[in-house]
Structure formats: C-alpha cells, structure tokens
Chain A
Amino acid sequence: MRYLPKSDSERREMLAACGVSTPEELFEHLPEAVRLNRPLDLPPGISEYEIVQYFRDRAGETALGYASFLGAGVYSHYRPVMVDTVVSRGEFLTSYTPYQAEISQGTLATIFEFQTMICQLTGMDVANASMYDGSTAVPEAAMMAVRATGKGRVLVSRGVHPEYREVLGTYAKHQGMPVAEFGYVNETGGIDLEDLERKMDDLTAAVIIQSPNFFGIVEQVKAAGEIAHKRGALLIVLFTEAVSLGLLQPPAEADIVAGELQSFAISPSYGGPYAGIIATKEKYMRQVPGRLVGQTVDSRGNRAFCLTLSTREQHIRREKATSNICTNQALIALMATVFMTVYGKQGLRELAEQNLAKAHYLAGKLDRRFTGSFFNEFVVRAPESVNKDLLKKKIIGGLPLGRFYPELKDCMLLCATEMNKRADMDVLAEVAAIKPQPQEQEVIA
C-alpha cells in the first residue's frame, strides 16, 4: 500500500528487533474472544485514478451546472484562488494544534490575525480561535451568558435560524437551561419587541437575536439590547451571513457576538466543515470557550505567540471547563483569514454593496412578504411550482419556508449574491411572476 513506507526487508528487520517473525505475533496478547477472525467485509483498495472517478461519478448526481438562489445560512460567494493556495501548503494543512509554540508560530500568528480581524469586524474586544460552526456557537454563547450572569434562562428570537435553535435546544435540555422563544412582527419580519418585553424576566441570562435574521431582515439590535440589559440579561447577537458585516453596523450593544464564517471562502460542501466564532467584551474574556492565542515574547525578547488562558479548557479544567471543545477549525479559519486579507477593508465593503444591489434588483421584481430592510436575502410569496419550473431551466430557486414556519408555507426565502447573474435573476422573476391557478397547473402537467 503506497502510504506504508516500509519495504519488506525493513519490516522483517523491525520485527526481528521486536523478537517476533510475523506482525500477527504482536497481537497475540489480545484475548481470543475479542479478535476479529475474518477479513473486514470491504473491497480491496483502489488506485488514485479510480478514487477520482468515484467522486466524479457522485458529483454527476448533484446540482453541478445549476445556478442557485439558496441562502438560509449557507451562501454562495466567490472563493479567491489564493485561499486554496495558502491552505494547501503542507505547513498549514498537515500541522498539529499549536501546543508547542516554538514550532507553530505560523499557525499562531495567523490565528492572532484572525482573532484581531473578527474583533474589528464585530466591534468586540476579544474573539476566540473559532468554534465548530455558527450553530454550535449559539449554545456555547448561551452557556457563557449563564456563567457570567448566574441566571438560568434563555430567550431566543424565532428569527434565529431554525436549525440553530434546534441545536440550542439539544444542549439546553441537559444543562437545565430553559429556552423560550419570542416572535416576529407579521408585517416587517423583524423581532416583536413587545413580545420580547412581555416574555423578559429577571431570571433570563441572555436574549439571542440574529441580524440579518433568517428572513434576511436587519434587526433592531439597539432596542433589543435595551430590553435585555434593563433586566440584567446579556444580549447575544448572531450572524450567519458574514459578508453583511462589510456594510452593516456591527452590533455595539451586544455582550456576545456569535456567528458563522462560511461566507468567507468556505465551500458550502453540503453542510460542513465551517467555522463559527464567539466574540465578546473584555470583561467576559475568561468565560470564552475554545482556544485563544495571545501575544508574548520568547526568551530572546522577540515577539511570539502562544495558546493562552488554557486553564479554561478541557485538558486542564476537565469537568469544570468552559466547554468540552478541543478543536478550533484552524484550517477553515485560515481560509476566512486569507479571504478577509484578499478583500481587505475596501473589498469587503464593495462585495457587500454588490450583494445589496443584486438582491434588491431581484426583490424589486417580486412580491416581498416582509417590509423590513434586508441585506442579500428576502422572503417572497411564491408557490412551490415556481421552483419546479426553475429546475427545468437549471436554476435552483428559494427555500420553501413551510418546513420551518408553517404560517409561511406559501413563501420562500431567496438569496442573491455577487455570484448570481442578472440573466438568471430575470428568468427567476419571469417564472415567479406567472402565478398559475390550480386548474392551469393540471393542464400544464
């Protein structure tokens, strides 16, 4: 097997040095009862070419060649070529977690840059070296708020991504952390501040909102913050579309910002791997889960970086750790870092402006369900037949919302980014504008 670097003679030499003549003898100490006495029921190994072919065949049964207007937490943005150039370097790809600082300064420096850029982007003081993804960053942020306030309850907006709320529910159930939801305003699609006020109490550790929310609507972060802070709760603001931060005010009133960085040159890749972040104010620094890289000096007095505040983490604190997390999505975070570098201060803004223009062009031709302001996603009234017709033209339309919001089952969520062509948007608008009556549909079929 080409990954095993020993020749037969080397293997024999090493076996002899171990006092055995066959590798099987090294396993003789295992009790008979546990041994697998047959070969694994898996076909023999295949060549590199056949592996490529296997995955190409799989890709043949996907949406290769289709245009897409799907968003809903995963966004199609252009991935600059330099991203893969950098992350393909063996020193980044095949290196280990930077516990040995002297030979990991490359990784540590890039994570320090990442932490800095996330702070700049979100307006927070401290950012960690990333979480698994946006969905798991939410319960981690909630647990932080519980630790920081000493209170137990969490209030979450229905405008937060439905699958993120599900993940929060799974974690919360076993933390003894009750989670309640508050609604959105039917007309605007933004959070219902009155509903939030009503459901708020002194036992609430955190109010969690997403902006732009799942419907694409920009939320009233300041007002939500006032309601939360008045009753001694923290405000957690979440984002799933990182590009929005190129244009939108960062949430200054937030105590914790959590989010998903998939938009920053991370392939959609059918759901993962992605990279989440948690960023917060200085006073909550020691409550932050996950890895943190800090600046220091080496024994020669030169600037150096290292993992720090490790006593929060599982390998030291064990059952009293701030989290059980061991990973940071280092390579994924590096993709985001390179993306942020390539676009930079001007580019990220220009990119966001293009997204705004594309989405508003498309929305202008369609029947918007909500009146609130939006960035690059919006909800329209459209029957599912629209998507069927679009597929015939190799266009994937929006996400029908009935599966997550029964009250919105006649609507779909559309996203337009810099990758969507005007021509495809015009086709979509045309198809959506035809609203066939039921009997017309039967005739077409």
Chain B
Amino acid sequence: MYPDNFRYTKEHEWVSVDGDTGTIGITDHAQSELGDIVYVDLPKVGTHLDQGKSLGSVESVKAVSDIYSPVSGEVTAINTELADHPEKLNTEPHGDAWLVKLKLSDPAQVQNLMSSADYQSYIGAEK
C-alpha cells in the first residue's frame, strides 16, 4: 500500500526520487480523510517550491487541504489529467494521480523524511 521507495511527510505527502527528479503526491490516508476529491489546485511549471511550503491545495466537497512540498526544487511537470479527472486522486494516489514533478535543488532533503514503515506507524498512532 505505501511503497517502500517513497518517502513520507507528517502532512501526508509522498515523494519518490529518480536521479535529481522528484515526483510528489498525497498519500492514500490523505485522500481517504478528504473524501471524494473534486478539484486540485497545482502550481505552474517553472515555479520554485520550498520544502514545507504550500504548493497548492486539494478540495473535497466539504473540505480543502493545503499540500506542502516535501522537498525543494523547480516544477518541471504537473499532472494535467487531474483537472478533468480529480477522482483519480481517490483511486490512484500513489500512482497515476501524482501531482507534480520537480528538479530537486537539494536531494539530501529526502533523508529527513519518513520511511514507509515510519509513516504507517505514524498514521496508526494518529488514529
């Protein structure tokens, strides 16, 4: 469920790294808390993101949640499919419904994030 090669944040985002490219998304726990996702607000390509700062938001009918960037870098791609199919975030949060790809400015930042096991005990504790 929570891929081992992802890193996780306390705010329920994940990041996966391939060289100096990072892919960011929200976790299955996050989408389940939000309910049916109706809209995603993403940054423009070229935007610089800072670790821990808001990169956009995810909306359900009754709630909206900021998405905080797990790492710093420059946005190279955004998942435009989500504009027409926000519901994919409910079904594929760890796969097809990634949010943004970015060129990492500091790949070492990933070290400080939670592993899959740590994240799972974190959400287990939250309950």
Which residue numbers of A lie inside 8 Å of B, CB to CB? 286, 310-311, 316-317, 320
Contact = CB atoms under 8 A, between A and B. Distances in A.
Main secondary structure of the interface of B (DSSP, over half): strand
Q: Nearest 5 pairs between A and B by C-beta?
A: A311-B64, A311-B59, A317-B64, A316-B64, A316-B63
Given A310-B61, A310-B62, A311-B38, 13 more contacts: A286-B39, A311-B39, A311-B59, A311-B60, A311-B61, A311-B62, A311-B63, A311-B64, A316-B62, A316-B63, A316-B64, A317-B64, A320-B64
Contacts of B64: 311, 316-317, 320
Nearest to B58: A311
Contacts of A320: 64
Contacts of A316: 62-64
A316 B39 CA distance: 14
Interface string B38-71: 1100000000000000000001111110000000
A386 to B, nearest CB: 58
A286 B40 CA distance: 12
Interface of B: 38-39, 59-64
B83 to A, nearest CB: 12
Nearest to B63: A316
A6 B61 CA distance: 41
A320 B62 CA distance: 15
B30 to A, nearest CB: 16
B47 to A, nearest CB: 12
Nearest to B62: A316
A236 B59 CA distance: 28
Contacts of A311: 38-39, 59-64
A307 to B, nearest CB: 10
Nearest to B61: A310
11 contacts: A310-B62, A311-B38, A311-B39, A311-B61, A311-B62, A311-B63, A311-B64, A316-B62, A316-B64, A317-B64, A320-B64
A197 B63 CA distance: 43
A245 B63 CA distance: 38
Contacts of B62: 310-311, 316
Contacts of A286: 39
Contacts of B60: 311
A150 to B, nearest CB: 11
A182 to B, nearest CB: 32
Max count, chain A CB within 10 A of own CB: residue among B39, B62, B64: B64
A317 B64 CA distance: 7
Nearest to A307: B61
Nearest to A286: B39
B56 to A, nearest CB: 12
Contacts of B38: 311
A102 to B, nearest CB: 15
A230 to B, nearest CB: 23
Contacts of A317: 64
Nearest to B38: A311
A317 B62 CA distance: 10
B84 to A, nearest CB: 15
Contacts of A310: 61-62
A286 B63 CA distance: 15
A356 B61 CA distance: 47
A311 B63 CA distance: 6
Nearest to B65: A311
Nearest to B66: A320
A375 to B, nearest CB: 41
Kindly name the residue among A286, A310, A311, A317 whose own CB sees the greatest number of chain B CB atoms within 10 A.
A311
A398 B63 CA distance: 51
Contacts of B59: 311
A320 B56 CA distance: 12
A293 B59 CA distance: 18
B121 to A, nearest CB: 31
A286 B59 CA distance: 12
A316 to B, nearest CB: 6
B53 to A, nearest CB: 15
A275 to B, nearest CB: 27
Central interface residue in B39, B59, B62, B63, by most chain A CB within 10 Å: B59
A404 B69 CA distance: 52
Q: Considering residues B39, B61, B62, which has the most beta carbons from chain A within 10 angstroms of its beta carbon?
A: B61
A239 to B, nearest CB: 31
